[in-house]
A and B are shown apart, each in its own frame.
Chain A
């Protein structure tokens, strides 16, 4: 179908990610089995204008370094299933830890929207967030919402729509590491690019290889190396 787009929802546990998913999709949900096989994820559709957004609720994780099955599933979906847009849901009351995950997602994929959830709760606690500044620093749309009180939904959906149509272009800011790490990335990235091409971010794959991410190595083997060459 030409007007269906896949939107992945990523985020820490306890950020109201599922609340957002439920609020947007209502009861138009079912569980889908994805390549991960062992973990089934909830899926639901949201009609918007002439399009239908297929939302996929990824497992809530603290990071995407494949320390656990859940992290691997979420990571693989974002990198290999290539959703049209990835929403990263952050908890406004603990932005510091939550941004850590957002920074990781920005390294992995291009079309990202950052949703700062629980914004009403944060305001009650006297937390003021300058989303314009964050938007500038991160290079992708940053939107304040409250999933439980359905605040900010029109802007959120509209932003997703405009990313899909190309009206907004994302330029996710790449994390700058220490010189030592950057030097190693420079050494290995050209070779990685030769192998994966433009299909996935070669900088990110280089980082993961330097980190010794064997789960990713296996996944790359499965997906990019033709049978028999292995």
Chain B
């Protein structure tokens, strides 16, 4: 089996499914992300980009949540499926 490929959420392509391994944020933003289901081990799908490229919408815990690149650049995970 291949070594799992680590990617940041911000670099995910549309359709990618990423399993979260780490969230490098603190304070209220970290707590808010946890509450929305961005917890370690959760599967996140990259859904779409805003027309201007940022923010990016993710499918997590059966809901769609948009994050700005400042935050999504600090969430990392294993690429589970490229979705293609």
Interface, chain A (partner B; CB < 8 A): 62-63, 65, 67-68, 93-97, 100
Contacts and interface: CB of A to CB of B under 8 A. Distances in A.
Contacts of B37: 96-97, 100
Contacts of A63: 35
A97 B36 contact: yes
A208 to B, nearest CB: 13
Contacts of B28: 67-68
Contacts of B35: 62-63, 65, 67, 100
Nearest to B32: A67
Given A62-B36, A100-B37, A93 B31 contact: no
Contacts of B60: 97
Given A96-B61, A97-B63, A67 B31 contact: yes
Contacts of A97: 36-37, 60-63
B44 to A, nearest CB: 13
Interface string B11-49: 000000000000000001001100111000000000000
A94 B31 CA distance: 20
Contacts of B36: 62, 97
How extensive is the interface on chain B, given as a class? 10 to 19
A149 B31 CA distance: 35
18 contacts: A62-B32, A62-B35, A63-B35, A65-B31, A67-B28, A67-B31, A67-B32, A94-B61, A94-B62, A95-B62, A96-B62, A97-B36, A97-B37, A97-B61, A97-B63, A100-B35, A100-B37, A100-B61
Contacts of B31: 65, 67
A62 B32 CA distance: 8
A62 B62 CA distance: 14
A220 B37 CA distance: 29
Contacts of A96: 37, 61-62
A93 B63 CA distance: 9
B54 to A, nearest CB: 22
A93 B32 contact: no
Interface string B46-84: 000000000000001111000000000000000000000
Contacts of A65: 31, 35
Contact of B63 (A67, A68, A94): A94
B59 to A, nearest CB: 10
B27 to A, nearest CB: 9
Report the 10 A-B pairs with minimum CB-CB distance, sorted nearest first: A94-B62, A63-B35, A97-B61, A62-B35, A94-B63, A67-B31, A96-B62, A96-B61, A97-B37, A97-B63
